[in-house]
Amino acid sequence: MAALAAQHHRVFSSTPSTTPRTYLLHHLPTPSSSSRRPHGGPRGARLLRRASGDSSAVPAASSSLEELSRSCTTWSWRGMSVNYLVRGEGPPVLLVHGFGASVAHWRRNIDVLSESNTVYAIDLLGFGASDKPPGFSYTMETWAELILKFLDEVVKSPTVLVGNSVGSLACVIAASDSSRDLVRGLVLLNCSGGMNNKAIVDDWRIKLLLPLLWLIDFLLKQKGIASALFERVKDRKNLKDILLSVYGNKDAVDDELVEIIRGPADTEGALDAFVSTVTGPPGPSPIALMPKIRIPVLVLWGDQDPFTPIDGPVGKYFSGLPSELPNVRLHMLEGVGHCPHDDRPDLVHQKLLPWLEELPSATEPEVALT
């Protein structure tokens, strides 16, 4: 599904980019709280030493898809099955993938993070191995509600949310819900401006394209047209070419990544989920929500992202945010694309692990990390 979104975005991009080819990649039993390792300690120190070491572009060691699949279990939400993984001990962290991706997209992060944290990774409804109910209307608000309910019923402890792309936006919406005290930190990896390409309208190029975008939405709602596009882009070669356009580190685009994106697209309900997401409402803007968030926020941004470029409206907003909000820290990642955690996991871990170590515990008062 990420590839289909990329193909749609390839011609009708909603975000300004420095290149004419702009693509969209949106694409174990639970340990008891008493058994979880206290925050920090020797294990955390080892991870910090590892993160500050080799900075080469060689991808970090990753868990195999088969291993990740075996480690997953399910949770029922509104009568629907939601796939998730939990591993490790320590303060909880929840990983939320982007559009068209799944738990497996965190293959290069789960092992590292789980050495000092209890890592949860979830397949949002409509993606991965989670249910894709017929006729379901997918919205950003629904995914945010799912995240909060998962924290409440499964994690049962204040949690750091880590999201990529639309997963980041879902985390922003969840964290901005001031009526619940479930989120203790927020990590945004190239946050999306909305669920689809109708999110950003404050650029003259986008305004000119809006009538055409609405026409594309209409055509995608014709099942025959959407199905033909879906089948074309699922071709492994086409899919790999699209992924190569979105990643800065081309070595990270391997056959396993192609399968991570392609596999769930073959499951029942995947086409309907894609069409609903691309043609539905874009949802709340992160620009409106971020000022409401008072918890510590870490923003990591790949500077070669063709979907949410740093010089686009959303990128410009986030790049200026640290000067406006004392709880926000920003790091630009050089030569990295739209999915930093899989593109250059070493650079992400260098910034993320120390930041996690600095966070106050759930029982300590919150302080702004600067």
With contact defined as beta carbons under 8 Å apart, do 350 and 51 qualify? yes
Give pLDDT, residue 210: 63
Length of the chain equals: 370
* C-alpha distances out from residue 234 to 65, 100, 231, 240, 287, Å: 19, 12, 5, 10, 33
Q: How many Å apart are CA 158 and CA 16, to the nearest integer?
A: 37
Q: pLDDT per residue over 177-206, tens digit each?
A: 867 789 999 999 999 998 866 555 555 556
Q: How many Å apart are CA 99 and CA 246, to the nearest integer?
A: 13
With contact defined as beta carbons under 8 Å apart, do 176 and 292 qualify? yes
> Which has the closest alpha carbon to 9: 229, 164, 313, 159?
229
Amino acid at 160: V
Give pLDDT, residue 226: 75
Question: Is residue 262, in this structure, part of any structural domain at all?
Answer: yes
Question: Is residue 45, in this structure, part of any structural domain at all?
Answer: no
> Could you count the other beta carbons within 10 Å of the beta carbon of residue 357?
16
| Residue 13 φ/ψ, nearest 5 degrees | -75, 145
Query: Which whole number is the average pLDDT over 359-366?
Result: 68
> Which has the closest alpha carbon to 287: 213, 192, 206?
192
| Residue 335 φ/ψ, nearest 5 degrees | 75, 20
Give pLDDT, residue 228: 77
- The one-character DSSP state at 222 is S
Q: Which residue has the higher pLDDT, 209 or 88?
A: 88
Count of structural domains within the chain? 1
Question: Is residue 195, in this structure, part of any structural domain at all?
Answer: yes
Question: Is residue 122, in this structure, part of any structural domain at all?
Answer: yes
Share of the chain above pLDDT 90, in %: 58
Tokens representing 127? 């993606």
Burial 295-313 (b: 16+ CB within 10 A, else e): bbbbbbbbbbbbbbbbebb
Question: Is residue 198, in this structure, part of any structural domain at all?
Answer: yes
Burial 22-53 (b: 16+ CB within 10 A, else e): bbbbbbeeeeeeeebbebbeeebeebbebbee
> Which has the closest alpha carbon to 121: 325, 130, 172?
130
Q: Which of 176-185, 216-225, 317-326 has the highest mean pLDDT?
A: 317-326
Question: Is residue 279, in this structure, part of any structural domain at all?
Answer: yes
pLDDT confidence bin for 176, thresholds 50/70/90: very high
Give pLDDT, residue 77: 98
Q: pLDDT per residue over 267-318, tens digit each?
A: 998 888 888 788 878 899 999 999 999 999 999 999 999 989 999 889 999 9
Residue linked to tokens 């309907």: 272
Tokens representing 265? 């697209």
State yes or no: pLDDT of 262 exceeds 60. yes
SS3 337: coil
Q: How many Å apart are CA 138 and CA 190, to the nearest integer?
A: 21
Tokens representing 319? 């790049």
Residue 214 sits in a domain whose CATH number is: 3.40.50.1820
Which residues span the domain enclosing 182?
2-25+56-358
**Phi-psi region for residue 137, left (φ > 0), alpha (ψ -120 to 50) or beta?**
beta
Q: How many Å apart are CA 368 and CA 139, to the nearest integer?
A: 31
pLDDT confidence bin for 367, thresholds 50/70/90: very low
Q: Which residue has the higher pLDDT, 11 or 77?
A: 77
Query: Which whole number is the average pLDDT over 4-33?
Result: 36
